[in-house]
Structure 1
C-alpha cells in the first residue's frame, strides 16, 4: 500500500460522535510514551500528522485521520497514564473501552509494545482484555533501532513466551522503527489486505 493522502478529520471524547461508520477503521494504542504518534507519522509519511510529545499522556481524545479517502486511522489515548488524576484516568479509560467495544466498523486494533522493555504486566493485561472482549488485534513492537538486533529479538521472544502462557495462538506481530522506517512496508501491506477484506465483506 502507498499512502498518497492522509488528513486529520476530528477529535472526540465519545465514540458516538465519531465519523459515520461507513469505512474500515484501524485503531492504534499503547502504553504512554510507546512512540505511537511517531509510528503513525512514519506510516503515513507525514511528520506532523499526529502530534508527538516527550511528555506521556499527550493524546487524550479519539483522533480520526482519513487515509487515501478510503479508511480511517484512529489515534487513541495510551493506557498506563503517567501523572494524571484518578478521575481523568477513569474518564479516559471509559472513553477508550466504549470505543473499542462499541465502534461497529473497527476492524483491528494495533497494540504498540516498546521493544526496549521486557514484558510489561500492563501490556499483557490490556491484550488479555481485548481477547476476553473478542476484539481483533495485532502487535507492533516499536523502537527496534534503540537496541542491538540480538537484544531486540530477545525481548520479542520473551514477550511471545509470556503471551504463550495464556494464548494458544499468537496474533500477527510486526517490528518497527519510526527513526529508520524499518517495518513500514510490512505494516502497510497488512493494512492493505485488511482494507480489501473489509470492502469484500461490505459488498
Structure 2
C-alpha cells in the first residue's frame, strides 16, 4: 500500500484507554526518550515543521497523539520517557497509559518505531521499550537519530553498539537518521510502507 506522508493531519490525543483509536487502520507507534528528537523525526517524515509538538524542554508529549497519514494509517506519538522532570505520579500515569496501549485487546499496533540517540549507548529505558515492542510480537524499526552529530568514521561503531545493546539480529531494521538533515527519511518511509502492506 503506497502512503503519501505529505498528506497528514492531527486527529486526537488520548489520555486514557477509552480514547484509543481502534478503526482497523494500521498504527505505527513512535517511542523514545524525552530528549531524543521523536517529534522532530515525525515532523521530518511528514514534511512539516511543527505538526508534532517540539518542546523546548523534554517531556511535553504527555498523551498518546494520533496523526492520520493519507487517510490510510496512523503515526502514533507515544509519551517520551526517562528524562522529563515530572512528578512520580505523572510518570506512573504515563507508564499505565503505555502499558494499556501495548496490551490493548484490539491488537491495534502494526509496527513499533523505537528512536534512540546514535551518539550514545541505548539506555535501560530504551532496552525496556524495545522489550515491550518485542513482547507485542509486532515488527519493530530502530531509528538511530542525530546522525548529523557524528563524523563518518564514528557511524559504524555507534550502530554496532546499538545492535549489541538491543541484541539485534541481521533481520532487524536499524536506520541511521537525521531529523535535522533528512538522511534516512526515504529508508524509513519505505520500511513503514512495507509494514503497512503486510
2:20 aligned with 1:21, yes or no? no
One of 142, 149, 154 as aligned partner of 1:151 = 154
Native 8 Å contact 1:10 1:64 kept in 2: yes
CA distance in structure 1 between the partners assigned to 2:171 and 2:102 by the alignment: 20
CA distance in structure 2 between the partners assigned to 1:93 and 1:73 by the alignment: 20
Pairwise CA distance, 1:10 = 0.6
Which residue number in structure 2 is paired with residue 118 of structure 1?
Answer: 121
Which residue number in structure 2 is paired with residue 161 of structure 1?
Answer: 164
Structure 1 stretches of 4+ moved >6 Å: none
SS of alignment partner, residue 57 of structure 1:
coil
Which residue number in structure 2 is paired with residue 201 of structure 1?
Answer: none
Native 8 Å contact 1:118 1:158 kept in 2: yes
CA distance in structure 2 between the partners assigned to 1:42 and 1:53 by the alignment: 15
Pairwise CA distance, 1:13 = 0.8
Mark the runs of 5 or more structure 2 residues left unpaired by the alignment. none
Which residue number in structure 2 is paired with residue 56 of structure 1?
Answer: 58
Which residue number in structure 2 is paired with residue 195 of structure 1?
Answer: 196
2:99 aligned with 1:93, yes or no? no
* Matched pairs, number: 195
CA distance in structure 2 between the partners assigned to 1:170 and 1:38 by the alignment: 26
Native 8 Å contact 1:100 1:135 kept in 2: no
CA distance in structure 2 between the partners assigned to 1:2 and 1:27 by the alignment: 18
SS of alignment partner, residue 175 of structure 2:
strand
Mark the runs of 5 or more structure 1 residues left unpaired by the alignment. 198-203
Native 8 Å contact 1:33 1:54 kept in 2: no
Residues 8 and 111 of structure 1: CA distance in aligned 2, closer, same or farther (over 3 Å): same
Pairwise CA distance, 1:2 = 3.6
Give the superposed CA RMSD: 1.7
One of 58, 65, 68 as aligned partner of 2:67 = 65
Instruction: Please identify, of 150-159 and 42-51, the stretch whose mean Cα deviation from structure 2 is larger.
Output: 150-159
Task: Map Cα deviations across residues 41-98 of structure 1 (whole Å, 9 max, x no partner).
Answer: 0000011110101211010011001000111111110121421111110001100111
The TM-score, its normalising length taken from structure 2, stands at 0.91
Native 8 Å contact 1:14 1:95 kept in 2: yes
Instruction: Please identify, of 63-72 and 114-123, the stretch whose mean Cα deviation from structure 2 is larger.
Output: 114-123
The TM-score, its normalising length taken from structure 1, stands at 0.89
